[in-house]
Structure 1
Amino acid sequence: MTFRGDYAQGQGGNVSTSSGSGRGASPLLALPLLLGGGGGGTILIILLLWFFLGGGSSIFGGGGSDSQGQGGYSLEHCQQAGSSNEYDDCRAAATWGSLNSIWAQQLPEQAGVNFSEPKMELFKRDVNTGCGYASSDTGPFYCPQDRTAYLDVSFFDSLGQLGGSNGPLAQEYATAHEYGHHIQNLEGTLGLSDYKHPGQDSAAVALELQADCYAGIWAHHASQGPNAALDPITDDQLREALQTAQSIGDDNIQRKSGGEVDPDAWTHGSSEQRMQSFKSGYETGKMESCDTLNRGGYKS
């Protein structure tokens, strides 16, 4: 997935970086705090992976050494021509910039909701957030308390272990999903999510599927029109993103654990639901195609 023009230089509004202490703490420490903030994005899926695939920092790169030191993580390399098409962190920053531009237009036009930009923090090892402490093992998440998405790009390397893709559009999908939770926060629906009451018909699943759909809306608008940030999306690139959405469905996670598929324990939706939700947003570019909450009868 190739960025065009200025976006190929990794531009991104409200993107900061940090390098953590390298303590490599268990994501269990982050769980109560992050869930208390609501809208944990892919956090529950990643916590399940941490148990099912062996636990510890080796899966997602947390707790490792950083050649730049604790305070030296910089995005200066993202100013190089073509950097967002070469480096994962520059790609995430460029995706964030594109998301800001698209949702600043689409949210007021389609939903009549005032837009404000969220922040993104690209971190290494661990990070302190408005929702509490998290390590790289936690996976990407959005914190509504400080309106910031947190991402250690080492997460992308883990997608293949579930049968997903680490391709550019797959990475961008993961970033755009977390941005989708910010859109829900602005709409006033994010607080409906309650991970203490999971299940295939839960508000938690409805909101996660809607965030997948919102990610598809970004891909639609980012790849079409004269001001598109991306080159046209190819069938192979779309297939990679759909493969990744499918791989992180609750049913696939449960099978990977060696257990039975239990819809009553779902928090993010099935593989088929996640794939179709992203596809729906991508094909239409319309927020009305993502109205999972009204279809489930939930009220803000």
Structure 2
Amino acid sequence: MSSDIEDRRGQRVSTGKVAGGGGLIGVVIAIAVALFGGGGGADLGAVLEQLDVAAPAAPADQNVQAQAPDTVSEQDEFVSFVLDDVQNFWDRSFADAGRTYDRSTLVLYERGTATAGCGYGEAAIGPFYCPADQKVYIDLSFFDDLATRFGAPGDFAQAYVIAHEIAHHVQNVLGISDQVRAQQQGASQSEANDLSIRLELQADCLSGVWAHSAYGRDALSPGDLEEGLGAASAVGDDAIQSSAGAPVNPETWTHGSSEQRISWFNTGFETGDVNACDTFSGNL
């Protein structure tokens, strides 16, 4: 498997304190919404960053002891391949811009796990990125939910999830998340939500930029792209509210509508340019 994967599956819970402790970094998202809650010579410094989706606070007196599985499944190999491909793409892009990309680590876990600075991550919230330890956390059972509950099956739907979370890491490395969080301080709830949406849509766009590169290298087929678009649509705030039987209320959105998520992923895919991912200028 990739050297950027930390496998915590099979870990057992034991008594003790969670490493990293308490407070969340970024916007706290309701569980139903938090299920997405991460061109070569482009000026990466111009890219504005999305807010990071972090895990909920840790239960008291919880710690973990790893007992990783001995076998590597076909899904493990696919996740490893996609992770390396996405991070190698950002390695090249940063280098072309005269910058250094600090690679993220993908943590595979089951049910729940401790983070260093973002509390205790649980599978119920879906994949998330913790800016404090610069790690992406995924319980692979989420991909089953993506296919069955949200109607977005397929390998590239899974690749989209990984690319989206790594996009949050790219944004964190650039330091723009801190700038946006600063703007949220003292902002109204409506303004804070709008900033969160713009940040999330930018992560979708950056995912599309990677997909553009993958398509150009024949690592992606038109059918794969449809799977990615289906995943982007499935995790729109309106789609999630509808699937939960709740009224569709744009005032509560933090990630954007299905139409917006598809549109911005397409923007990244069609242009292959990170500078096209400025979701902060004008209307969405």
Q: Report TM bin, short chain.
A: 0.7 to 0.9
The CA deviation at 1:233 is 2.5
* TM-score where L is the length of structure 1: 0.71
Question: In 2, distance between residues paired with 1:103 and 1:252?
Answer: 30
Aligned to 1:219: 211
Q: Which deviates more, 181-190 or 162-171?
A: 162-171
Is 1:206 equivalent to 2:198 in the alignment?
yes
Q: How many residues align?
A: 244
Asked if structure 2 preserves the Cα contact closer than 8 Å seen for 1:144 and 1:182, the reply is yes
1:138–1:163 distance in 2 versus 1, CA, 3 Å? closer
Is 1:72 equivalent to 2:93 in the alignment?
no
Which one has a larger percent helix, Structure 1 or Structure 2? 1
Structure 1, residues 66-121: CA drift from partner, whole Å, max 9, x if none?
xxxx743236526xxxxxxxx222222211111121001113435x5431111111
Question: In 2, distance between residues paired with 1:102 and 1:198?
Answer: 35
Question: In 2, distance between residues paired with 1:199 and 1:178?
Answer: 23
Identity over the aligned pairs, expressed in percent? 34
Aligned to 2:159: 172
The CA deviation at 1:244 is 1.2
Asked if structure 1 preserves the Cα contact closer than 8 Å seen for 2:238 and 2:250, the reply is yes
Aligned to 1:21: 12
Alignment of 1:26-65 (within 5 A): 36-38=24-26, 45-46=33-34
Question: In 2, distance between residues paired with 1:292 and 1:42?
Answer: 23
The CA deviation at 1:41 is 9.3
Alignment of 1:115-134 (within 5 A): 115-130=101-116, 131-134=118-121
Asked if structure 2 preserves the Cα contact closer than 8 Å seen for 1:39 and 1:144, the reply is no
The CA deviation at 1:151 is 0.6
Alignment of 1:126-145 (within 5 A): 126-130=112-116, 131-145=118-132
CA RMSD after TM alignment: 3.1
1:48–1:155 distance in 2 versus 1, CA, 3 Å? closer
Question: In 2, distance between residues paired with 1:204 and 1:219?
Answer: 23
Asked if structure 2 preserves the Cα contact closer than 8 Å seen for 1:209 and 1:277, the reply is yes
The CA deviation at 1:153 is 0.7
Amino acid at match of 1:21: R
Structure 2 unaligned segments of length 5 or more: list them.
15-20, 38-64
1:42–1:185 distance in 2 versus 1, CA, 3 Å? farther
Question: In 2, distance between residues paired with 1:42 and 1:237?
Answer: 30
Asked if structure 1 preserves the Cα contact closer than 8 Å seen for 2:147 and 2:154, the reply is no
Alignment of 1:76-95 (within 5 A): 76-77=71-72, 87-95=74-82
Question: In 2, distance between residues paired with 1:199 and 1:167?
Answer: 35
Structure 1 unaligned segments of length 5 or more: list them.
1-10, 24-31, 50-69, 79-86, 226-230
SS at match of 1:45: coil
Asked if structure 2 preserves the Cα contact closer than 8 Å seen for 1:14 and 1:120, the reply is yes
Structure 1, residues 145-201: CA drift from partner, whole Å, max 9, x if none?
000001111100001344432200000000110000011101112232559935796
SS at match of 1:240: helix
Asked if structure 2 preserves the Cα contact closer than 8 Å seen for 1:139 and 1:155, the reply is yes
SS at match of 1:72: coil
Question: In 1, distance between residues paired with 2:158 and 2:135?
Answer: 18
Question: In 2, distance between residues paired with 1:41 and 1:106?
Answer: 31
Asked if structure 2 preserves the Cα contact closer than 8 Å seen for 1:205 and 1:266, the reply is yes
SS at match of 2:109: strand
